[in-house]
């Protein structure tokens, strides 16, 4: 028994060592070691007492309860995410097929035949037992390589689903911010429209008494109609943005969200600041990069299967059971037996098909390397762009708020001068127009600033480490 155990272990070691898969080496990241901006590079080099926020749960970033509710709704109902999850199940089943190929398929069979013979009688034959057919003895790792390829494809599909999930969360948050911005713009437009209607009435009254010219009246009318056009455009955009969010959620907007939407304002939304970390962190926290690496591993494993095709393919068909010329004699004592039929196929000439398959596998691996490197470069650019906008948009927002205060004060002073006859109708209308433009610009700048923070959070990996799967680890 001890000798048998030693022999079994030795055979298993030899078989496991016969892998023709090339040794995998992760390609070097083709990006800089620091982010382009000096401020971000300085922040990256500082030692953090705690792990970055994007390395925690997504609820630590999306702190607004309404946003959290919308994200949970989208994760449960979004059809694109549902398809992505079903793709995982499909890849899991494919992996199960490849794993099953490593074991013999045992079947219970019972057959019978009655054939006329030359003497005018009938020859009967009955068999029954257990058989397995054409089981490949994987001496050169072809089946194991295909299994490794299926495993890597399964892991790549899983990472793709995480990418869809992270993008979905960001899209929901950004769509919600757009709706809040739409409400702010509509509120401003309605207020401006009401102000301009009063201004037009006052101008018409002055014109009827000769205190205003036709030009003043036309200017007031132009501003009024311009506000109506802007309001109509914003109503259309508001409806389209809600439709977009409804599609992301997979259902209608919840009543609680509608209630907050009616009373909420965009400036009430805030997100925690995000330290950028280092570019190398993207390799760990970006699921699209992990997906590209798993695709590279799958292509690498496929080379092993293509190499194994140059070596003999050994299969075994065997069976054990009973055989009898009479059905009643089946499975009786003395009718038992067994068969074993090994088969060896050695490729000699196939017009270069095996070499072509190996060339295809190697070219596919090279393509996967290029795609992996491109994915890293794209991720680096996404983060770098978001970091570039983080500081500049903050400055723009601060300047826009200061500009609005200045325009509001200018409008107030111009109204006082106009009421006391020290300013013309044209000055008053110009102040109104400038104030309205500044109000709209501030809302748009605030929206861009907040959406850029969401983009940065998504670009850094989306803070979903609980969904991570270690590269090469079996599910």
Whole-structure pTM value: 0.84
What is the model's pLDDT at position 47? 43
Rounded to 10°, the helix 287-308/142-208 angle is 150
Residue 51's pLDDT is what?
55
Please, which residues have CB within 8 angstroms of residue 14's CB and are 6 or more apart in sequence? none
Scanning the structure block, which residue is given the tokens 């019978």? 112
In 149-271 the beta strands, taken as DSSP E runs, fall at none
Q: What is the pLDDT of residues 231-244, one digit of tens each?
A: 999 999 999 999 99
Residue 3 has a pLDDT of 47
Q: What stretches in the chain show pLDDT beneath 70?
A: 1-18, 37-55, 463-475
Q: What share of the chain is helix, strand, coil (3-state, %, to 5)?
A: 65, 10, 25
Distance of CA 56 to the CA centre of its chain: 18
Burial of 195 (0-12, 13-18, 19+ CB in 10 A): middle
419, two tokens:
């009421």
CA 113 to chain centre: 59
Distances (CA, A) of 152 to 29, 95, 302, 319, 403: 20, 9, 10, 35, 55
pLDDT the model gives residue 48 = 44
On the CB side of 462, CA atoms within 13 Å amount to 23
Tell me how far the alpha carbon of residue 467 is from its chain's centroid: 12
> Mutual orientation of helices 425-459 and 142-208 as an angle, nearest 10°?
170
Task: Name the CA dihedral angle for 277, 278, 281, 287, rounded to a multiple of 10 degrees.
Answer: 80
> Could you give the count of Cα atoms lying within 13 Å of 361 in the half-sphere of its Cβ?
25
Alpha-carbon gap, residue 160 to 144, rounded angstroms: 24
């Amino acid at each position: 028994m001890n000798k048998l155990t030693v022999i079994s272990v030795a055979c298993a070691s030899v078989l496991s060592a016969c892998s023709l898969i090339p040794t995998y080496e992760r390609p070097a990241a083709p990006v800089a070691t620091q982010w382009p901006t000096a401020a971000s590079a300085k922040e990256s080099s500082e030692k953090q007492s705690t792990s970055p926020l994007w390395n925690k749960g997504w609820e630590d970033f999306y702190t607004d309860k309404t946003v959290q509710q919308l994200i949970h709704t989208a994760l449960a109902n979004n059809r694109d995410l549902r398809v992505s999850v079903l793709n995982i199940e499909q890849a899991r089943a494919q992996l199960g097929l490849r794993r099953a190929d490593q074991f013999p398929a045992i079947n219970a069979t019972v057959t019978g035949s009655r054939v006329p013979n030359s003497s005018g009688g009938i020859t009967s034959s009955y068999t029954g037992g257990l058989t397995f057919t054409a089981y490949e003895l994987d001496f050169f790792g072809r089946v194991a390589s295909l299994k490794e390829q299926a495993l890597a494809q399964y892991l790549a599909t899983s990472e793709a689903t995480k990418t869809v999930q992270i993008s979905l969360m960001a899209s929901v948050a950004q769509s919600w911010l757009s709706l809040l911005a739409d409400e702010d713009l509509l509120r401003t437009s309605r207020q401006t429209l009401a102000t301009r209607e009063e201004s037009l009435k006052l101008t018409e009254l002055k014109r009827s008494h000769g205190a205003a010219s036709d030009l003043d009246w036309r200017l007031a009318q132009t501003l009024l109609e311009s506000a109506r056009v802007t309001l109509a455009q914003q109503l259309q955009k508001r409806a389209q943005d809600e439709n977009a969010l409804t599609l992301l959620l997979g259902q209608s907007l919840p009543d609680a969200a509608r209630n907050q939407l009616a009373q909420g304002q965009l400036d009430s939304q805030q997100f925690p600041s995000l330290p950028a970390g280092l570019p190398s962190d993207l390799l760990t926290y970006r699921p699209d990069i992990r997906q590209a690496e798993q695709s590279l591993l799958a292509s690498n494993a496929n080379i092993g299967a293509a190499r194994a095709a140059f070596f003999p393919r050994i299969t075994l068909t065997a069976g054990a059971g009973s055989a009898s010329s009479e059905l009643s004699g089946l499975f009786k004592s003395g009718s038992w037996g067994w068969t074993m039929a090994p088969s060896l196929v050695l490729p000699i000439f196939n017009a270069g098909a095996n070499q072509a398959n190996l060339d295809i596998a190697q070219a596919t691996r090279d393509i996967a390397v290029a795609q992996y490197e491109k994915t890293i470069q794209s991720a680096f650019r996404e983060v770098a762009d978001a970091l570039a906008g983080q500081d500049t948009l903050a400055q723009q927002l601060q300047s826009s708020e200061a500009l609005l205060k200045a325009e509001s004060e200018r409008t107030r002073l111009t109204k006082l001068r106009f009421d006391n006859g020290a300013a013309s109708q044209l000055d008053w209308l110009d102040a109104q127009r400038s104030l309205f433009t500044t109000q709209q610009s501030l809302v748009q700048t605030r929206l861009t600033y907040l959406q850029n923070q969401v983009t940065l959070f998504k670009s850094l990996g989306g803070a979903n480490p609980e969904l991570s799967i270690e590269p090469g680890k079996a599910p």
